[in-house]
């Protein structure tokens, strides 16, 4: 694994760098071949909380996890747990697809998962409890943010009048707003 570790509003000490690399290296046991992609790690302090963001691009899968805690080392441990759950989930889906199509080599190692595979199968079945349908009113981003705040939601789906596409505005943890739009 190649690591790209950077700090925002935080000095990345050698001890912290070694700890992050050691913990993330444990994830290699889940893969058939050694990972050649670069693992992007951002360590930061936001509102007094130690935050770690990890992004691991793989072929067909993007593993990403973020965790906040009062202690950076605890944040690292928690983000590793999240990534392991994501890997187990993707492994189950990939191997199920491979069994259906037949014959392709597994991306993930079977023996590394052990007994946890049965748990992932249960987690993989999501229960849809409600479906909403509504007409998308064309509006600009500012109006969409106002509508979102009026109804008290953390996101709002709308038809962007500038691009004629469906967009989503959302409220970020830092109190600012984000916009999700389809790639061109």
Domains and CATH numbers, the chain: 2-100 (3.30.160.100), 138-180 (3.30.505.50)
pLDDT digits (tens, 9 = 90+) for 34-60: 777 888 999 998 888 899 999 988 777
Distance of CA 40 to the CA centre of its chain: 12
Q: Which residues contact 53 (CB under 8 A, 6 or more apart)?
A: 40, 41, 42, 44, 64, 65, 66, 79
Mean pLDDT score, 81-89: 87
77, β-bridge pairs: none
Distance of CA 50 to the CA centre of its chain: 18
Average pLDDT, the chain: 82
Give me the helix-helix angle, 14-25 and 72-101, nearest 10°.
Answer: 20
Give 171's pLDDT tier (boundaries 50, 70, 90).
very high
* pLDDT score, position 116: 44
Give 108's pLDDT tier (boundaries 50, 70, 90).
low
* pLDDT score, position 183: 86
pLDDT digits (tens, 9 = 90+) for 110-153: 444 444 444 444 445 667 778 888 888 899 999 999 888 888 88
């Amino acid at each position: 694994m190649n690591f790209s570790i950077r700090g925002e509003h935080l000095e990345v000490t050698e001890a912290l760098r070694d700890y992050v690399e050691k913990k993330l290296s444990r994830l290699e046991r889940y893969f058939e071949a050694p990972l050649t992609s670069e693992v992007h790690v951002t360590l930061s302090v936001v509102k007094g909380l130690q935050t770690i963001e990890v992004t691991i691009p793989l072929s067909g899968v993007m593993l990403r996890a973020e965790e906040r805690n009062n202690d950076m080392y605890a944040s690292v441990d928690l983000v590793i747990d999240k990534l392991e759950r994501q890997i187990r989930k993707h492994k189950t889906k990939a191997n199920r697809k491979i069994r259906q199509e037949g014959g392709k080599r597994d991306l993930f190692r079977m023996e590394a998962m052990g007994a946890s595979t049965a748990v992932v199968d249960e987690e993989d079945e999501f229960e849809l409890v409600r479906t909403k349908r509504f007409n998308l009113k064309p509006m600009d981003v500012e109006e969409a943010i106002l509508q979102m705040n009026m109804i008290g939601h953390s996101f709002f789906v709308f038809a962007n009048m500038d691009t004629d596409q469906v967009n989503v505005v959302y409220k970020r943890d830092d109190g600012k707003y984000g916009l999700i739009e389809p790639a061109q």
